[in-house]
Amino acid sequence: MHVQHTDRSEPPRLRLRNISVRFGGLTALDSVDLEVAPGRAAGVIGPNGAGKTTLFNTVCGLVRASSGTLELDGAAFTPVPHRLAPLGVSRTLQALGLFEGLTVLENVTAALRPAGTGFLRDLLALPGGARAEKAARERAMQELESLGIASHASALPATLPYGVRKKAALARALATDPRLLLLDEPAGGLGRDDIDELADLIRAIPGRGCSVVLVEHHVDLVMAVCDRITVLDFGRVIADGTAAAVREDPAVTDAYLGAGAA
């Protein structure tokens, strides 16, 4: 359906085909198609109840699609929440999910030290583990620096402004060098200045070769950072294109005005 890619030999990083999600009698998503090219940012917007969170949860494996398929780099993808990291898929949640008893640096380092069985964990438990631990800490610190919050490394999250905590959650998601980053309403609870700063940070992510899917109620943020925007209303895709095209689309204006009036 979509013919946006210049390089046809390269499959989309993420592709949703015909995804429907039903909760009892309610159709939360209705035959949704979506693709994100490698190193691109895709936005999903829509009024309250449009199905944004359901779509996000479907890609994270928190909700199972009633029908349709997902693909990651051209391969069938059945998302399972705790198995996303090994596939290079990372996410931030609206409720940041930082460990309140750990410092910012420890929170980010924890992402590099999976709790389950795993290569890095085994490495950390073995002689030479101290060295792996040091490497993880250095990698985490580097991420804090790149997001401009290195000076808060040893602070506990609860002592920090919300905008800084959001960046800490983003640093944690990026520290694993994901190929796909899923962001759920990252602008929620932020003021104008923080949103502008966040926009700059998100805009820099595709440059690292990581694709971004940004699910957001905040239209301005999505318009500022996304190459391509999918608009949902009542679970259906009502528009799909560049920020400029979507902004001009009467169906989109109607959906938002309708929601505002309701």
Ligand X SMILES: Nc1ncnc2c1ncn2[C@@H]1O[C@H](COP(=O)(O)OP(=O)(O)O)[C@@H](O)[C@H]1O
One of 5, 11, 17, 49 touching ligand X (CB under 6 A) = 49
Q: Using CB under 6 A, which of the segments 23-31, 79-87, 222-230, 238-246 binds ligand X?
A: 23-31
Which residue do the tokens 């085909």 mark? 17
Choosing among ligand X, Mg ion, none, which partner's interface includes residue 117 (Cβ < 5 to 8 Å by kind)? none
Q: Which helix (H) or strand (E) holds 31?
A: strand 26-36
52 lies in the binding site for ligand X (CB under 6 A): yes
- Closer by beta carbon to ligand X, 3 or else 26: 26
- The DSSP 8-state label assigned to residue 152 in this structure reads G
Rounded to the nearest whole angstrom, what is the least distance from the CB of residue 17 to Mg ion in the complex?
Answer: 22
Report helix, strand and coil shares of the chain as percent, to nearest 5. 40, 25, 35
28 lies in the binding site for ligand X (CB under 6 A): yes
- The DSSP 8-state label assigned to residue 86 in this structure reads G
- Closer by beta carbon to ligand X, 38 or else 46: 46
Window 47 to 66, contacts with Mg ion (CB under 5 A):
52-53
Q: How far apart are CA 122 and CA 129, in angstroms?
A: 8
26 lies in the binding site for ligand X (CB under 6 A): yes
Choosing among ligand X, Mg ion, none, which partner's interface includes residue 26 (Cβ < 5 to 8 Å by kind)? ligand X
- Closer by beta carbon to ligand X, 139 or else 236: 236
Helices and strands per DSSP (H, E), number in the chain: 9, 10
Q: How far apart are CA 91 and CA 169, in angstroms?
A: 9
Binding string to ligand X for residues 188 to 227, with x set by CB under 6 A, is what?
----------------------------------------
Q: Using CB under 6 A, which of the segments 47-55, 123-131, 148-156, 242-250 binds ligand X?
A: 47-55
Q: Which helix (H) or strand (E) holds 32?
A: strand 26-36
Q: Output b/e per residue, 103-134; b: 16+ Cβ within 10 A.
A: bbbbbbbbbbbbeeeeebeebbeeeeeeebbe
43 lies in the binding site for ligand X (CB under 6 A): no
Distance set, CA 156 to CA 41, 93, 161, 170 (Å): 31, 19, 11, 16
- Closer by beta carbon to ligand X, 94 or else 103: 94
- Closer by beta carbon to Mg ion, 39 or else 188: 188
Choosing among Mg ion, ligand X, none, which partner's interface includes residue 99 (Cβ < 5 to 8 Å by kind)? none
Radius of gyration of the chain (CA): 19
58 lies in the binding site for ligand X (CB under 6 A): no
Q: Where are any strands of DSSP class E within 171-245? A: 180-184, 211-215, 228-233, 236-241
Rounded to the nearest whole angstrom, what is the least distance from the CB of residue 84 to ligand X in the complex?
Answer: 19
One of 23, 151, 244, 248 touching ligand X (CB under 6 A) = 23
Q: Output b/e per residue, 166-182; b: 16+ Cβ within 10 A.
A: bbbbbbbbbbbebbbbb
Site residues (CB under 5 A) for Mg ion?
Answer: 52-53
Interface contacts to ligand X, rule CB under 6 A: 23, 26, 28, 46, 48-54
